[in-house]
Structure 1
Amino acid sequence: MNVATTLTACDFDEIDRISREELAAIANQIDEERIYPEDIIRAYGKAGAYATHAGGIDGNVDLSSAILAMARASEECLSTGFCVWCQDTLAWYLASSDSDFLKTEVLPKVLKGEALGGTGMSNPMKAMGEIEPMRLKGVRVEGGYRVKGMLPWVSNLVEDGYFGSMFHVDVEGSDTPKRVMAIFHAAWDGIKLKLDHEFVAMGGTATCNVQCRDVFVPDAYVLGDPAADFVKRIRPGFTLLQCGMAAGMIRNCIDLMKQVEGPLGHVNKYLDKQPADIEAEYDALVAEVLEMAKTPYDLSDAFYLRVLKARLRGGELAMEAAHWAQLHMGARGYVTRGAAQRRLREAYFIGIVTPATKHLKMLIAQMEAA
């Protein structure tokens, strides 16, 4: 039996209203006080932001609405846009799985924003790329796995939230452990969350260190055992969804530059990049992303390479746009609550969040050399 999830329409008018009226009003507070806007994250769920891309591998799935909703949140606040990505990606794991239990019992709550959660895949993705060791280790027991270890930086995570992750399991007679991917519930015995907010931006993201002490993961929560085929299934969508953060950041930086054309245009015209220059690149990037969003389950290497290149360009253009927004705005953007300096700090997150710029370049080089 393959449970099909009913897709929900995204109310873009409501998402725009939430972003414009509620999120914009507290964006500086999120940045300065590192508050997690839980009510807003849940409100986006009620507006359908997380439920348009959950049709599963047998459905007619398009990531466009999810990306555009995330971009709208990111225009106002990248911390919140990132939390939207976390929620979207958790839904992506669940909807892409073969687990009827997860699709029936967990996915509907995630789609509505009733249950919150994150990705938990920063360390596993780096481990798969041999950048760092796998932090979680599991052993097979009756009915599931016992898992221990510590995951740094799992975001959008509350005490009763969910996250996906991966762990190594030793294989008898082999020097190479297998990888298993599963969904974890933060309320399980043995899981302890500790908020970790020592970033120069992105503090309002409910980012936690997750300690696992002999946590029992039931078989019903396993996504891939071994994980390789499932990872290949989800990786294009996982990566492509992140482009929503970049798109929102770039759009807002263009708007910031345009805001000062009246008072500063006579001198800003000497800067190397003008709003129209960034906008042309933005339009081309968004067109490419939305075209690929129509086929997120294309598992070909050629498609994944396109996705990686778009994600890389999105991060680079976001950082570039924020740089030019700061120069265009000058001192008025460099004050404590100046929008440009906040966007500049936030933009670098797009360049370092997994997969980071250097990780993307490594993956692209490896695929092109194969």
Structure 2
Amino acid sequence: MNLATHDPVAARPNAAPPAVPSFLKSEAPADLDTVIRRALKPKVIAIDHGEYPADLLHEIGAAGAYRHHLSSQNPAGMDIAAAIDDMDRISAECMSTGFMTWCQDAVAWYVENSDNQHLKDTVLPKLASGELLGGTALSNPMKYFAGIEDILLHAKETADGFIVNGQLPWISNLGESHVFGSIFRVEGDNPRDVMALVHTDTPGFEFRQLAEFCGMEGTGTYALFFKDVFIPKNEIIADPVGPFLQRIKAGFVLLQAGMATGVIEGCIRLCEDVEPRLGHINAYLDDRPDELREALEDTRALVRELATDVHNPDPAYFRQVLELRLAGSELALRAANSAMLHTGANGYLVDAPAQRKLREAYFVAIVTPAIKHLRKEIEGLID
């Protein structure tokens, strides 16, 4: 994880977004497969050990991975399936990077679906291109709306904005001059929930590294602290947030499928790689690579089907999305367990791909919405 700590004393209310790295200005953007092979693959272990790969994330954006799902930014129109496919290919190599891709996609999804033309004009093109990086801080609000925990950010309304206080744990894909979407509870005469885009350089805002994780360390994950942070009304994504969440929730959850399918693909490849040497004995194991691949392709086919109707308001459709997300988590756990068993003792070595995939699969299963959260939501939608 990036060990830098934000200095609120040096914060600037209108800090410029980070410049595009010079290598992107001097060369034509590479296609995504080239970026994965040339820039991501050599950095996987460093990322797993805590290096936040900002330059790599810029390159992924320049390759077009962050714009497929944004109708206003993609020449071909909204293509959720293409966004998930790119995330799948990235996650097969490194799911930490696949997760950060989802974070970037999610914050852009919020702005794309908002009614805030100011943000659409000034911020969205930079998010879509990867010039500006950002994250999503909706884990706590999602649990709040599901009745799992209380909302952690509270605000007072002023004539021209909101003053926000509170703390959030473990928000990812952040650093200096980043942005993220966040929801807070407005107190006072007109109580309601409001969503805003927050800049990490805003006065009163601070992020700190308070934990060290066994995996996903290079994802720019921090605890966030709001002390009288002023959010102007031109940074508001939705007020009130309820109707907006109905528009974005299916896309928010469905986009995560690319993390699961990518991990599963990576695990299957590990199993296939050892077949020439260990196939004679691995034949006695469950969840063989051909079985897993059949299940994976069925999952990918359902992803493509659901991606064509992502604004469908029918609760039955959203239940299908949740069930797909749950099935992806469960299959990722099966595939990662299989990869460990198929690779044997070699999979248990420090920095072995199999044990990294095992940690990644558990992350798919616990990141919001986690398996237990998904099952609760699905139960609530059953007739």
| Bin for the TM-score computed over the shorter chain | over 0.9
Q: What letter matches 2:139 in structure 1?
A: S
1:67 lines up with 2:84 in the alignment: yes
Partner residue of 1:8? Answer: none
Paired residue secondary structure (1:293): helix
Q: CA RMSD in A?
A: 1.7
Query: Does the CA-based 8 Å contact 1:68-1:244 persist in structure 2?
Result: yes
| TM-score normalised by L of structure 2 | 0.89
Which of 102, 118, 128 matches 1:101?
118
Partner residue of 1:345? Answer: 359
Structure 1 residues 134-183: Cα deviation after superposition (integer angstroms, max 9, x where no partner): 1100111011111111111111011111100111112538xxx4211111
Paired residue secondary structure (1:214): strand
Partner residue of 1:46? Answer: 62
Q: What letter matches 1:108 in structure 2?
A: P
Partner residue of 2:350? Answer: 336
Report the CA distance shift for 1:56/1:13 in structure 2 as closer, same or farther (over 3 A): closer
Partner residue of 1:3? Answer: none
Q: What letter matches 2:131 in structure 1?
A: E
Partner residue of 2:270? Answer: 256
Report the CA distance shift for 1:152/1:80 in structure 2 as closer, same or farther (over 3 A): same
Paired residue secondary structure (1:49): coil
Which of 185, 191, 195 matches 2:209?
195
Partner residue of 2:279? Answer: 265
1:31 lines up with 2:45 in the alignment: no
Paired residue secondary structure (1:198): coil
Structure-to-structure mapping, 1:205-354, within 5 angstroms: 205-354=219-368
Partners of 2:46 and 2:200 lie apart in 1 by 27
Query: Does the CA-based 8 Å contact 1:247-1:282 persist in structure 2?
Result: yes
Identity of aligned residues (%): 44
Query: Does the CA-based 8 Å contact 2:167-2:226 persist in structure 1?
Result: yes
Deviation (angstroms), 1:67: 0.6
The gaps in structure 2 that reach 5 residues or longer are 1-27
Deviation (angstroms), 1:106: 0.6
Which of 62, 76, 83 matches 2:93?
76
Partner residue of 1:204? Answer: 218
Partner residue of 2:157? Answer: 140
Partners of 1:367 and 1:302 lie apart in 2 by 7
Partners of 1:119 and 1:56 lie apart in 2 by 20
| TM-score normalised by L of structure 1 | 0.93
Paired residue secondary structure (2:319): helix
Paired residue secondary structure (1:294): helix
Report the CA distance shift for 1:42/1:196 in structure 2 as closer, same or farther (over 3 A): farther
Report the CA distance shift for 1:42/1:231 in structure 2 as closer, same or farther (over 3 A): same
Structure 1 residues 268-295: Cα deviation after superposition (integer angstroms, max 9, x where no partner): 0011221111111100001001111122
Structure 1 residues 229-271: Cα deviation after superposition (integer angstroms, max 9, x where no partner): 0011100000000000001100111111001111111110011
Partners of 2:139 and 2:72 lie apart in 1 by 23
Q: What letter matches 1:347 in structure 2?
A: A
Q: What letter matches 1:366 in structure 2?
A: G
Deviation (angstroms), 1:221: 1.4
Structure 1 residues 31-85: Cα deviation after superposition (integer angstroms, max 9, x where no partner): 12x101111111011111101111169x952201111111111011111110000
Partners of 1:222 and 1:328 lie apart in 2 by 50
Partners of 2:138 and 2:354 lie apart in 1 by 30
Report the CA distance shift for 1:197/1:117 in structure 2 as closer, same or farther (over 3 A): farther
Structure 1 residues 205-242: Cα deviation after superposition (integer angstroms, max 9, x where no partner): 00111111111111111122111000111000000000
Report the CA distance shift for 1:314/1:13 in structure 2 as closer, same or farther (over 3 A): farther
Query: Does the CA-based 8 Å contact 2:205-2:226 persist in structure 1?
Result: yes
Partner residue of 1:184? Answer: 198
Partners of 2:277 and 2:265 lie apart in 1 by 21
Partners of 2:365 and 2:58 lie apart in 1 by 27
Q: What letter matches 2:272 in structure 1?
A: K
